[in-house]
A and B are shown apart, each in its own frame.
Chain A
């Protein structure tokens, strides 16, 4: 059901990609979210800017993963599979590698990009079905069909009466745990001052639905993600991602957890706890981290941290099971992280 559009290929001039300020324009990278939703009639841009060729640009590291003293820089157009198998990611940020490899399928991972993964949209079946009128995200003010409907896959954290759609990304959960920073390019100065970059901590990148579920990220037309940086976090090597789902592979999370532990002298010095599959945005639980920090990493402690992470959960009748399930994934992930030598 794809609506007609005109197609522009961006080759060298990245700033041509900023031309998304023209109404109806949309950036096209991997296409795995965009083309899917366009074919459903959920999104109908009239102009696509294909930025894939930027990946081979030598002017900027769109398609490269680079180590810096500050940490890791991941180009916006790095494919998910390349990122997952990158030796530095595997050894120093295993939670990210595990998260990526648990998502989608090998083919999709070969296509999807870092920036695309950040920008992916919910899998809510009502959102994806234009035959359903009530979707505040797709059609502001029309209501939320999931609220009293089949909400088994929906959020228990971060939802509102207007929207309980889950953010489906695994990568983002790991990145939220790793304090990733999203670098965005745009016209930020006063008019005529040219193009600069700004940095957005990932925790601020995705928005809660509140009463405006159509607004999902903090960026908009005229802005372009250039890369994502991960600060060097030595204890990130002691991390794990656990994903609970309905079948063994090629399925979205019912609940997932990405964690990292810094254990020294028998005590947890620092912890990262992030949840997926259960929230309207990639969910960092500092409350759980506070429970963990300063204590020996026992099973009991993990249970308490998990319970804290889910303390504010508000399930719907059809997704109550997500509360114990999410707790279990947190505990399991912490247990795995503890086992990493």
Chain B
């Protein structure tokens, strides 16, 4: 059994007087978590969920920008938890699938203001030099502390990192002795840069690996996607599609069949339209990949995207990224002279909602914008 320690953890182990230890009853959060939210009926209430309690020295909670917020959402969803962030003056409630809610000023819990709550968690708010994270706790739906970390004086840690560490600690294998709902947690070492060493109160026997299975070497790949380079370590069998969706968080490219029969996964590789489901991530190493996320920008949509909106060339939207990428590829190929050509050359993209006629109109319209002068074709004929 390996126990990782750091300076800031040991005092906790020795300091038995500190409140809100793992396994103990947490301070009451009743009244802090708003009940019925705006426009909500019944449904999972905050008291049904674990709560991540983050205590800050002051000012805004230290996460900035959409990426951090999205990463925190993903962690909270994994925990099934609500985030309660407190500073001496302010209280935020963050549910991953709701808007960020800010309640100001903080309501007073039954036994005093936020400073009292800090004390109940064993944190001295005036001790921090600035608006950083002072402590992170996870309280389960029954009110028991499952994870506790008080940030040391020289530690600087973002909320996102702390929530991720909490989630990792909560995901450890269960110890069978005391039953499925009781866990004994290791104490995680949280260092900036996120090196996590894990100890287990009990270690299950290592699983027997099938001697016949071949080693699946992990490949270190560099994928250039939408002009950005991404390092990726995956098994060779991982498709580019799965790498995009599962490993890189680029879910704009869709999986409709996984066998090259629908076109929903169409991306551009070196400017050519291809199917990412039948491309290994390894095959795309070193190539320039363009996905739907790389088309246009927040300020200006690509002409094909704008045309799809204007012509209502979509309904459920699931085939749409593939349609658009395929259409951009089609225009680059330069073989579509009239509507019948567009229909034929877009037949590799299935649309079950049946938006085809509008897709053709959108492409014809965008073709003009993209080339300056496309083929003028009212194209009222159907296929021969």
Contact = CB atoms under 8 A, between A and B. Distances in A.
A107 B326 contact: yes
B259 A6 contact: no
Contacts of B345: 106
A110 B326 CA distance: 12
Nearest to A128: B259
Residue from the set B219, B283, B329, B383 with the largest chain A CB neighbour count within 10 Å = B283
B254 to A, nearest CB: 14
Interface string A74-100: 000000010001000000000000000
B71 interface: no
Nearest to B281: A7
A35 to B, nearest CB: 5
B236 A48 contact: yes
Nearest to A4: B216
Contact of A248 (B219, B282, B383): B383
Interface in B65-92: none
A81 B343 CA distance: 17
Contacts of B273: 106-107, 110
B274 A4 contact: no
B214 A46 contact: yes
Contact of B283 (A40, A50, A110, A249): A50
B347 A105 contact: yes
A107 B282 contact: no
A320 interface: no
B236 A107 contact: no
B12 to A, nearest CB: 43
Contacts of A111: 274-275, 278-279
Interface string B245-262: 000000000000011100
Nearest to A29: B283
A319 interface: no
Contacts, number: 95
Contact of A107 (B219, B237, B348, B383): B348
A178 B217 CA distance: 44
Interface in B259-310: 259-260, 263, 266, 272-275, 278-280, 282-283
Contacts of B274: 107, 110-111
Given A6-B214, A107-B326, A31 B278 contact: yes
Interface string B329-345: 11001010000000111
Main secondary structure of the interface of A (DSSP, over half): mixed
B239 to A, nearest CB: 7
B213 A4 contact: yes
B348 A7 contact: no
B280 A35 contact: yes
Contacts of B347: 105, 248-250
A36 interface: yes
A22 interface: no
Interface residues of A, number: 32
Nearest to B276: A107
Given A52-B283, A249-B344, A7 B278 contact: no
A107 B343 CA distance: 14
A5 interface: yes
A3 B239 CA distance: 13
B214 A4 contact: yes
A107 B274 CA distance: 4
Interface string A194-205: 000000000000
Contacts of A3: 237
Interface string B205-243: 000000001111101000000000000000111010000
A170 to B, nearest CB: 15
Contacts of A30: 278
Contacts of B213: 4
B329 A108 contact: no
A35 B348 contact: no
Interface in A1-44: 2-7, 9, 28, 30-32, 35-36, 38-40
Given A32-B278, A85-B335, 17 more contacts: A2-B237, A5-B237, A7-B217, A38-B237, A39-B258, A50-B283, A81-B333, A105-B348, A106-B333, A106-B348, A107-B329, A108-B275, A108-B278, A108-B348, A110-B272, A111-B275, A248-B383
5 contacts: A6-B214, A7-B280, A30-B278, A106-B273, A108-B275
Interface of A: 2-7, 9, 28, 30-32, 35-36, 38-40, 46, 48, 50, 52, 81, 85, 104-108, 110-111, 248-250
